Structure 1
Amino acid sequence: MVVKKLEKGLIHIYTGDGKGKTTAALGQGTRTAGGGLKVLMVQFLKGDDTGELYSIERLAPNFQLIRFAAMNKFYFQLNEEEKAEVKNSVKEGLYTIKRHLDEENYNLIILDEIMAVLYNKIIAVEEIIEILDNKPDHIEMILTGRNAPEELINLADYVTEMRMIKHPFEKGIYARKGIES
């Protein structure tokens, strides 16, 4: 596969406790795919049937999504066997990302909810730093999730923090199909 190269690939982080981190990454991915460039979104720890799955299908072949360690409950709710399965799946996801970076198949690679993987100590931050340090210079990367470690913030070119000021969850309104999921 021949992929047009970006002049310079930068690193973005979308973090914070507010809504919109994945949505911002999807927006950038949509813009990139619409520009005729190739996008890979790798989602970690997400198992629900969400609207982005169907939107991305419509952008194929320029936008692809792969899920690893898909879960329908929180990591802390898993038993040890389930946690081991999640860790293996995350490792498989990292291998996939490294392979695509080596093969230079995409212009933009999104690591959605990678911060949750780090926060739950499923992998060490050094593994992500190694990926970022060794990425080809012309590939853009976006990392999303709450609690971005300072080491990654220092490496990034863009850091955006979504901050919750008010959320419908506080009123008992849960995720709505097509809006939050």
Structure 2
Amino acid sequence: MEKGLIQIYTGNGKGKTTAAVGLSVRAIGRGFNVYMIQFLKDRDTGELHTLSHFDNFKVFRFKSSKKFFWQMNDEEKDLLKKQLKEAYEFIVDVLKNNKCDLLVLDEIMGVLHNNLYSIDDIIKLMDMKPEGMEMVMTGRNAPEELIERADLVTEMKLIKHPYEKGIKSRCGIEF
């Protein structure tokens, strides 16, 4: 890719990861190598089953606990912090060695808002991005400092959600 940009999908609405996956499908269809690094996610999702059939799409997950961050005890939080340190080092290696054409950092804003990475940590990653690599970051509440540095920012705005009616996540639709 001649010129890779930085995209952010943020907001309190549904669809941030779905948009990143859609972009990934487009990229692998054109022969690009895609790395998706998922933070704070451990649920089995339909898109990962489909995308696992493509040699040029790789997903990496850095979370072993099935709990939300606020439900974890101190020992579980310490383990997660260790895993996220390894994830950061992995991302630095991907960027330094230009290992993919599209790098998706899925739910990195959640890591930021749980104070597991700092804004400076994420800015360093943005600054390390090779010229020909596209970077996508997802998650709620993207801070202004990151929005200013990005080339494209899309906000998913919640207007109505079936959860408000007591409808839980559905297999094949939400996961």
TM bucket (normalised to shorter chain) is over 0.9
| CA displacement 1:37-81 (0-9 Å, x = unmatched) | 1000000000111112202102x2111101012442211111111
Which deviates more from structure 2 when the two are superposed, residues 62-71 or residues 107-116?
62-71
Question: How does 1:1-181 map onto structure 2 within 5 Å?
Answer: 6-58=1-53, 60-181=54-175
Separation (CA, whole Å) in 2 of partners of 1:126 and 1:110: 18
Query: Contact 2:39 / 2:61 at 8 angstroms: preserved in 1?
Result: yes
Query: Contact 1:42 / 1:67 at 8 angstroms: preserved in 2?
Result: yes
Query: Contact 1:48 / 1:71 at 8 angstroms: preserved in 2?
Result: no
SS of the equivalent of 1:123 reads coil
Percent identity, aligned pairs only, is 53
AA partner of residue 156 (structure 1): A
**Unaligned stretches of 5+ residues in structure 1:** 1-5
Query: Contact 1:44 / 1:70 at 8 angstroms: preserved in 2?
Result: no
Pairwise CA RMSD = 0.9
**Unaligned stretches of 5+ residues in structure 2:** none
SS of the equivalent of 1:178 reads coil
| CA displacement 1:2-58 (0-9 Å, x = unmatched) | xxxx10010000000000000000000110010011000000000111112202102
Q: How many residues align?
A: 175
Compute the displacement of 1:93 (Å). Answer: 1.1
AA partner of residue 62 (structure 1): N
SS of the equivalent of 1:73 reads coil
Compute the displacement of 1:113 (Å). Answer: 0.3
TM-score, normalization: structure 2? 0.97
AA partner of residue 82 (structure 1): E
AA partner of residue 7 (structure 2): H
AA partner of residue 166 (structure 1): K
SS of the equivalent of 1:115 reads helix
TM-score, normalization: structure 1? 0.94
Regions of 4+ moved over 3 Å: none
